[in-house]
Amino acid sequence: MSKRKVTTLGQFIIERQDDFPYAKGELSRLLRDIGIASKIVNREVNKAGLVDILGEDGTVNIQGEHVKKLDVFANEQFISALTCGGECCAVGSEENEHVVDIRSDVSKNAKYVVAIDPLDGSSNIDVNVSIGTIFSIYRRTSLSGPGVLNDFMQRGTEQVAAGYIIYGSSTMLVYTTGRGVNGFTLDPSIGEFCLSHPDMKIPKQGKIYSINEGYYVHFPDGIKKYIKYCQEEDDKTNRPYSSRYIGSLVADFHRNLIKGGLFIYPSTAQAPKGKLRLLYECNPLAFIIEQAGGKASDGYRRILDIQPTDLHQRTPIVIGSHDMVSKVEEFLRKHSPVVAV
Ligand code: AHG
Ligand code: MN
Ligand code: MN
């Protein structure tokens, strides 16, 4: 029986390093550091039910959300791996109000900054549902000294790399450096991420829509009408669609990337700017989905074109199969036109 060649994440990164004519391996090492931290987080996620790491640690993060212990652990692991790796000078994390300066003797010339959601889907930690980590990598714009907020105030189009880890039935790392999307599955027997999903592409059209319909009454009219459109009977356009909502962005996103589909977290009466954060949830996933042939907007504007003004700013998001995102934008233009301010 022919043995399929196993390509580990490390081998793949080195092989693809030639994509970057001026690369001296810094980005390769930075991606390696993220891979290392994700294996450590994965180990804790897998035994979360067994050790005292479940539940809340009593603090509240800057989002005003009760922080689960695994959020804190994951945040510490990624910051520690990036600090030791020496290729990153600053981290912008969901769990830290301000930019975290991680320079050391090793990293004083580091040229990258990383925005990260160390644990996405926190509300699902205690109920054994898939959770994830989302990361976004930029070149620093400041010339020297500690990484500063301005290093993160770059449009999503400026990202050098972006990816996520999903801690699910298997643990996968999916990332892009702007030359396609590749997925790696962790093989626990060798402790390596192995290439399992080369050159991932999302179907242009799908049959799954993912939105928290519990907030229906608070949605803009265009979104309400789109949800009814998904539920209508129409053989020609394969409707009604299926509704799937896991409540972990990474898990809903990953399912859509593989099967085709659409995820929407719109603006609502309570959250006029939406709930999801631009820098470490929406931008990295928008980079990935565009590289996979999909689309990501706030319903009106391309996510990657939004100029950030705050580390934790939120944005509505419509992301997934290209034609499904365009259809939502059509409904919003017609029923919830943006009033020019
Ligand atoms: P996080 O755990 O990093 O705060 O992210 C949670 C997000 C996202 O994962 C998910 O899609 C969304 O919250 C679910 O929000 P609702 O519970 O309001 O539907
Ligand atoms: Mn999140
Ligand atoms: Mn989080």
Gyration radius of the chain's alpha carbons: 20
Residue 129 lies in a domain: yes
Nearest-CA residue for ligand 1 atom 3 is 120
Q: Can you read off the two tokens belonging to residue 325?
A: 């995102």
pLDDT band at residue 216 under the 50/70/90 scheme: very high
Nearest-CA residue for ligand 1 atom 17 is 247
pLDDT band at residue 63 under the 50/70/90 scheme: confident
Tell whether 176 and 223 lie within a shared domain: no
- Answer with the residue of higher pLDDT: 85 or 55: 85
pLDDT band at residue 68 under the 50/70/90 scheme: low
The alpha carbon of 120 and the centre of ligand 2 are apart by a number of angstroms equal to 4
Gap between the Cα atoms of 26 and 87, Å rounded: 6
> Given ligand 1 and candidates 73, 254, 265, which is best to mutate, with the most ligand atoms within 8 Å of its CB?
265
Gap between the Cα atoms of 306 and 12, Å rounded: 31
Any idea which ligand is nearest the CA of 66? Answer: 1
Give yes or no for residue 274 CB within 6 A of ligand 1: no
Ligand 1 nearest-atom number relative to CA 120: 3
Tell whether 187 and 235 lie within a shared domain: no
Ligand 1 nearest-atom number relative to CA 121: 2
Q: Can you read off the two tokens belonging to residue 107?
A: 């990293």
At 142-187, the pLDDT tens digits run: 988 889 999 999 999 999 999 999 998 899 999 999 999 999 999 9
The alpha carbon of 221 and the centre of ligand 3 are apart by a number of angstroms equal to 29
Tell whether 144 and 170 lie within a shared domain: yes
At 113-134, the pLDDT tens digits run: 999 999 999 889 888 899 999 9
Q: Can you read off the two tokens belonging to residue 36?
A: 């290392």
Q: Going by C-beta distance under 8 Å and a sequence separation of 6 or more, which residues neighbour residue 287? A: 136, 156, 159, 162, 176, 178, 304
Tell whether 115 and 238 lie within a shared domain: no
Query: H/E element holding 114?
Result: strand 112-120
Give yes or no for residue 244 CB within 6 A of ligand 1: no
Give yes or no for residue 275 CB within 6 A of ligand 1: yes
| pLDDT > 60? residue 1 | no
Q: What is the CATH number of the domain that holds 243?
A: 3.40.190.80
Domain that holds residue 122: 9-197
- Ion ligand 3: residues, CB within 5 A, are 94, 117, 119-120
| pLDDT > 80? residue 4 | no
Tell whether 166 and 213 lie within a shared domain: no
At 274-330, the pLDDT tens digits run: 999 999 999 999 999 999 999 999 999 999 999 999 999 999 999 999 999 999 999
Give yes or no for residue 121 CB within 6 A of ligand 1: yes
Average pLDDT value over all residues in the chain? 92
Residue 202 lies in a domain: no
For residues 13-23, give the mean pLDDT: 75
Burial class (CB within 10 angstroms; exposed 0-12, middle 13-18, buried 19+) of 278: buried
User: Domain boundary at 197, 232, 265, which?
Assistant: 197
The alpha carbon of 248 and the centre of ligand 3 are apart by a number of angstroms equal to 9
pLDDT band at residue 340 under the 50/70/90 scheme: low
> Long-range contacts for 139-145 (Cβ within 8 Å, ≥24 apart)?
139/111, 139/112, 139/113, 140/89, 140/90, 140/110, 140/111, 140/112, 140/113
Nearest-CA residue for ligand 1 atom 12 is 247
